[in-house]
């Protein structure tokens, strides 16, 4: 299959490497200098150092070249760049099925990715879907076993594309719950920051387990409020992704939490990371949606207070620990 991977960050590059074994892949970077460097060095030194780009992989900064003969576009840009990328495709009058791997809410609108797609690229709907689940880019690039969920309202489309992308090392499961898959992938990054803070403070494994479990409740409450399915939050795109990012040392959002616990400023943390940590930008959108739907989101509130209100990490976590006693499921 001819696939255009749009977005040459760590995740886009890892997918391009993995899929190149079985498909004709074009990897597009918006930055011409970045594309030239990758073509010359055959490595993405900026975002995925240490993992060679296959010689068969075409690299370009010209969107028309990436999409020229493609049968599928896989958009793997941060959520903040999704709308711009869709507009660039639409402006070229290209009608091509798309998948997206963005995780988060668009900050200006609090839209999930599929809502941005509907607003900007409705001409080809419903031939589109979201690819999400527990996945670190480095492990996918290494060829280590990974399982993802491909969700689309179009069952025939999801079945066909999942079969094309599926392999023994990159297992693709299908779903019709686009909202649930996107919500799980978005909110887990916020919960992961809280788990990183707890670990950084030294509260131990018991506290981390409690945060992850209570965080799953927040994901589920808001996800159900937005129209997602309970089954989704118990699966790969829900609890699976949450566990991975909250406990794995490769998680950028977990690193944000750990560094906040050290007392570092948010600006210094983001400069040090050099990568997008979606939970930082997603937290306020999640809180807004919770308020709008009258859904309690105490962990998200604590993370927002640290990120945007100057509350210390220890103080915010202590507030969480001292909330009034309640029944577990509510």
Q: Is 327 within the bounds of a domain?
A: no
> CATH number of the domain that 274 lies in?
1.10.1040.10
Strand order in the sheet with 98-100: 58-60, 24-28, 2-6, 72-75, 98-100, 128-132, 146-151, 170-175
Q: Is 329 within the bounds of a domain?
A: no
CA 152 to CA 298: how far, in whole Å?
A: 31
Provide, rounded to the nearest whole percent, the portion of the chain with pLDDT above 70: 98
Q: Is 104 within the bounds of a domain?
A: yes
pLDDT reading at 330 higher than 60: no
- Match 């506290």 to its residue by tokens: 207
Same domain flag for 111 and 170: yes
For 158-209, the pLDDT digits (tens) are 999 999 999 999 999 999 999 999 999 999 999 999 999 999 999 999 999 9
In this prediction the pTM is 0.95
What burial letters (b/e) apply to 73-111, b meaning 16+ CB within 10 Å? bbbbbbbebbbebbebbeeeebebbbbbbbbbbbeeebb
Same domain flag for 21 and 110: yes
Same domain flag for 252 and 104: no
Q: Is 152 within the bounds of a domain?
A: yes
- Match 């903040």 to its residue by tokens: 80
Residues ≥6 apart with Cβ < 8 Å to 15: 5, 74, 76, 101, 140
Q: Is 326 within the bounds of a domain?
A: no
For 12-57, the pLDDT digits (tens) are 999 999 999 999 999 999 999 999 999 999 999 999 999 999 999 9
The secondary element (H helix, E strand) that includes residue 225 is helix 204-226
Same domain flag for 120 and 78: yes
- Under the banding of pLDDT at 50, 70 and 90, the label for residue 317 is confident
Same domain flag for 315 and 256: yes
Same domain flag for 79 and 190: no
Q: What is the pLDDT of residue 123?
A: 66
Structure tokens given for 260 = 């906040």
Nearest to residue 132, comparing CAs of 106, 159, 152?
152
For 270-302, the pLDDT digits (tens) are 999 877 788 998 999 999 999 999 999 999 999
Sort residue 163 into left (φ over 0), alpha (ψ -120 to 50) or beta.
alpha
CA 41 to CA 8: how far, in whole Å?
A: 14
Containing structural domain, residue 209: 184-321
Picking from 172-186, 254-268, 305-319, which range would have the lowest pLDDT averaged per residue? 305-319
Picking from 112-126, 211-225, 278-292, 299-313, which range would have the lowest pLDDT averaged per residue? 112-126
pLDDT reading at 111 higher than 70: yes
CA 42 to CA 33: how far, in whole Å?
A: 13
pLDDT reading at 124 higher than 70: no
Q: At what angle do helices 178-201 and 204-226 cross, to 10 degrees?
A: 160
The stretch 214-237 carries a mean pLDDT of 97
Q: Is 210 within the bounds of a domain?
A: yes
pLDDT reading at 106 higher than 90: yes
Among 188, 264, 288, 326, the one annotated catalytic: 188
- Under the banding of pLDDT at 50, 70 and 90, the label for residue 121 is confident
Active site residue 188: yes
The total domain count for the chain is: 2
Q: What is the pLDDT of residue 326?
A: 75
CA 227 to CA 176: how far, in whole Å?
A: 12
């Amino acid at each position: 299959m001819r696939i255009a991977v749009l977005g040459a960050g760590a995740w886009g590059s890892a997918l391009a490497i993995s899929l190149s074994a079985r498909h004709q892949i074009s990897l597009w970077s918006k930055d011409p200098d970045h594309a030239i460097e990758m073509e010359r060095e055959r490595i993405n030194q900026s975002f995925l150092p240490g993992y060679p780009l296959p010689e068969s992989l075409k690299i370009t900064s010209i969107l028309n070249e990436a999409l020229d003969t493609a049968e599928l576009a896989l958009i793997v840009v941060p959520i903040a760049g999704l709308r711009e990328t869709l507009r660039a495709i639409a402006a070229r009058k290209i009608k091509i099925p798309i998948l997206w791997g963005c995780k988060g809410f668009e900050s200006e609108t609090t839209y999930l990715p599929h809502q941005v797609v509907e607003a900007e690229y409705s001409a080809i709907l419903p031939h589109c879907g979201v690819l999400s689940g527990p996945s670190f880019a480095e492990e996918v690039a290494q060829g280590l076993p990974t399982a993802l969920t491909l969700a689309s309202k179009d069952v025939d489309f999801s079945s066909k594309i999942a079969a094309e992308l599926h392999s023994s090392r990159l297992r693709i499961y299908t779903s019709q719950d686009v909202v649930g898959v996107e919500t799980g992938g978005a909110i887990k990054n916020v919960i992961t920051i809280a788990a990183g803070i707890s670990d950084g403070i030294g509260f131990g494994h018991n506290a981390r387990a409690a945060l992850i479990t209570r965080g799953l409740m927040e994901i589920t409450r808001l996800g159900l409020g937005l129209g997602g399915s309970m089954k989704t939050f118990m699966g790969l795109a829900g609890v699976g992704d949450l566990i991975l990012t909250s406990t794995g040392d490769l998680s950028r959002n977990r690193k944000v939490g750990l560094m906040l616990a050290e007392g570092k400023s948010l600006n210094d943390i983001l400069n040090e990371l050099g990568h997008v940590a979606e939970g930082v930008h997603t937290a306020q959108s999640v809180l807004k949606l919770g308020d709008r739907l009258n859904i309690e989101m105490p962990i998200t509130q604590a993370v927002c207070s640290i990120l945007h209100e100057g509350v210390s990490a220890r103080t915010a976590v202590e507030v969480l620990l001292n909330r009034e006693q309640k029944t577990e499921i509510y």
